[in-house]
């Protein structure tokens, strides 16, 4: 895997992390300021978006892990 591929992966990974972090921080900030500022539906929606973003991160990590394992296999078989 080239350094360019790694930079692209890190960039792609940062987007869903930022989405999740933003939704969680915004929800916490609003609830700390005024516990009644958000409806249950709004809280569920924001936490749902964060959860979906973390699911994407998990999928990306699993895919990357498999790519790395596949790259190691030919080296293992050569021994």
For position 72, what pLDDT does the model report?
85
Residue 79, pLDDT > 60, answer no
If one counts every other C-beta atom within 10 angstroms of the C-beta of residue 76, the result is 8
| Domain residue ranges in the chain | 13-78
Instruction: Give the C-alpha separation, 28 to 35, whole Å.
Output: 9
pLDDT digits (tens, 9 = 90+) for 7-55: 999 999 999 999 999 999 999 999 999 999 999 999 999 999 999 999 9
Give the separation between CA 27 and CA 78, rounded to whole angstroms.
53
CA-CA-CA-CA torsion sign (15, 19, 24, 27):
positive
């Amino acid at each position: 895997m080239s350094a360019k591929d790694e930079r692209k992966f890190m960039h792609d990974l940062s987007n869903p992390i930022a989405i999740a972090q933003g939704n969680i921080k915004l929800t916490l900030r609003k609830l700390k300021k005024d516990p009644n500022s958000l409806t249950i539906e709004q809280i569920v929606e924001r936490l749902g978006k964060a959860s979906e973003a973390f699911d994407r991160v998990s999928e990306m990590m699993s895919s990357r892990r498999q790519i790395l394992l596949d790259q190691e296999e030919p080296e293992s078989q050569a021994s």
